[in-house]
Amino acid sequence: MEIEEIAAVDLANILHPTAGRKTAENGELLEPHASIYPYDVKLDYGDVLLVPGTATSVASRKDVDLCSSVEFSGQEQVRYEGVPVMAANMDGVGSLAMARALAEHRIFTCLAKTHTTSALVEFFRSDERLRDYSAVTIGLRPENIQVFREVSDALGGLGYACLDVANGHTMRFVEFVGRFRKEFPNTVIIAGNVATPEQTSFLAEAGADLIKVGIGAGSVCETRIKTGVGYPQLSAVLECAAAARAVDAKIVADGGCTCPGDVAKALAAGASFVMLGGMFAGHREGGGKIVASRFASGEVDAEGRPVIRERRFVQFYGMSSQLANEKHFDGLKPWKTSEGREVLLPFKPSLGDTLRDLLGGLRSTCTYVGAKSISKLPERARFVRCHDTHNRVFENM
Ligand code: 5GP
């Protein structure tokens, strides 16, 4: 990948809390205050565009292959053959119905953590192919790993596990990944979330195959507002993908995609998969609550009576929101604040239309940059920094 105007990824150029600060012989910091370093400005998807190639050879969008073949180092028995997109393990997205529908299009789903052992076993038994396109997601709670164990035992093993915590930067999480690796040596581990190359390397060395990258970028995430913590997503993807490559691991770019173009940018930046929450939310398949709202449209019918129209919305919320805590964790504990928001999205009647938009966009990206297949995107991609990505003149009509 070539990058115009963006300095090439330089792992030495990553902020480190102790870099450049005086330490005593025992390693203790002598300047215990935070520092800001004069490094590059870090970038989001909205800060760049992909540059069209020159005299490229991919003539038609229908010639582009959107399926990648992803191998996982040391996991010969599992190979992913499909579109490198994942539905997020969120309520309203990571449902069993969504996973079934997306698997038809060879798209992967990280199932929400809330499915029971029996529902998961029945799901996987109903169609062999679902094992290739779905991961059981668990958190750090002992009852979560127990669910994974039971499902795996019932099915004679599972191909994929998603180990998901809000903050994947703790030693506790690294150790959890290490223990999981030992217990399930033949399962591909998707683990996160993190946003730095150092922590990406730690998780890979602990046994994660695919590191989930993204802190605070999500559509219903409030972490950056509540904590001030985060890392601009495009730079996180570029830097963490480079760190993962160095140790034979791969990354999933998780959160912050607002349109198919952002998904293309994440893949071009080196992500092996892109995880989507908001872009897949709002469909019936997600299982979220559908709310109808009736309103006077301002028109009148033939008899002069006001026309009442109905609009449907779907409830969608962050998994660290107050609502998610109430639904799944007996409410928000007194020492915590909500780090997710709750929104009503316009109901999207057709998942097929959403997929056509997404997959059609990705095919088109490939033709512009001259990539015959989606896996060639990083080789062909050049980014240019910009101040505004598109014309907004009719956006608020
Ligand atoms: P999206 O595609 O909607 O922009 O981002 C989806 C990602 O947002 C999820 O995969 C997850 O990593 C993250 N996320 C989901 N819920 C929350 C939340 O309540 N708080 C935070 N900080 N992140 C969330």
- Kindly tell me if the per-residue pLDDT of 30 is higher than 60: no
Clarify whether residues 195 and 312 are in a common domain.
no
- Kindly tell me if the per-residue pLDDT of 143 is higher than 60: yes
Q: What is the pLDDT of residue 38?
A: 46
Q: For 70-74, 78-82, 166-170, 343-347, which range has the lowest pLDDT when averaged over its residues? A: 70-74
**Cα 158 to Cα 286: distance, rounded to the nearest angstrom:** 23
Select from 244, 254, 302 the least CA-distant residue to 93: 254
Mean pLDDT of 27-32: 58
Which tens digits make up the pLDDT trace of 302-312?
999 999 999 99
Please indicate, yes or no, if residue 396 is contained in any of the structural domains. Answer: no
Ligand 1 in contact with 362 (CB < 6 A)?
A: no
Please indicate, yes or no, if residue 356 is contained in any of the structural domains. Answer: yes
Please indicate, yes or no, if residue 392 is contained in any of the structural domains. Answer: no
Ligand 1 in contact with 94 (CB < 6 A)?
A: no
Q: Are 67 and 73 in contact (CB under 8 A)?
A: no
- Kindly tell me if the per-residue pLDDT of 44 is higher than 50: yes
Residue 34 is encoded by which pair of tokens? 């935070």
Residue 367 designated active-site? no
Domain limits for position 1: 1-38
Ligand 1 in contact with 193 (CB < 6 A)?
A: yes
Q: How far is the CA of 220 from the centre of ligand 1 (A)?
A: 6
pTM over 0.75: yes
Clarify whether residues 263 and 155 are in a common domain.
yes
- The model's confidence at residue 58, banded by pLDDT at 50, 70 and 90, is confident
Q: Which residue has the tokens 């800001």?
A: 36
Clarify whether residues 219 and 117 are in a common domain.
yes
One-letter identity of residue 50: L
Mean pLDDT of 68-92: 94
- Pocket-testing residue among 89, 111, 221, 327, ligand 1, by greatest number of atoms within 8 A of Cβ: 221
Mean pLDDT of the chain: 91
Clarify whether residues 136 and 250 are in a common domain.
yes
Please indicate, yes or no, if residue 55 is contained in any of the structural domains. Answer: no
Q: What is the pLDDT of residue 28?
A: 65
Q: How far is the CA of 255 from the centre of ligand 1 (A)?
A: 6
Residue 266 is encoded by which pair of tokens? 């994440």
Degrees to nearest 5, angle at CA 270 with 269 and 276: 80
Q: How far is the CA of 98 from the centre of ligand 1 (A)?
A: 17
- Kindly tell me if the per-residue pLDDT of 11 is higher than 60: no
Mean pLDDT of 310-334: 93
Mean pLDDT of 142-149: 93
Which tens digits make up the pLDDT trace of 228-258?
999 999 999 999 999 999 999 999 999 999 9
Q: Are 42 and 215 in contact (CB under 8 A)?
A: no
- Kindly tell me if the per-residue pLDDT of 2 is higher than 60: no
Of the candidates 137, 200, 223, 367, the residue annotated as catalytic is: 223
Paired with 108 in beta bridges are 86
Please indicate, yes or no, if residue 21 is contained in any of the structural domains. Answer: yes
Which tens digits make up the pLDDT trace of 152-186?
999 999 999 999 999 999 999 999 999 999 999 99
Clarify whether residues 300 and 230 are in a common domain.
no
Q: What is the pLDDT of residue 255?
A: 98
- Kindly tell me if the per-residue pLDDT of 323 is higher than 70: yes
Mean pLDDT of 5-10: 40
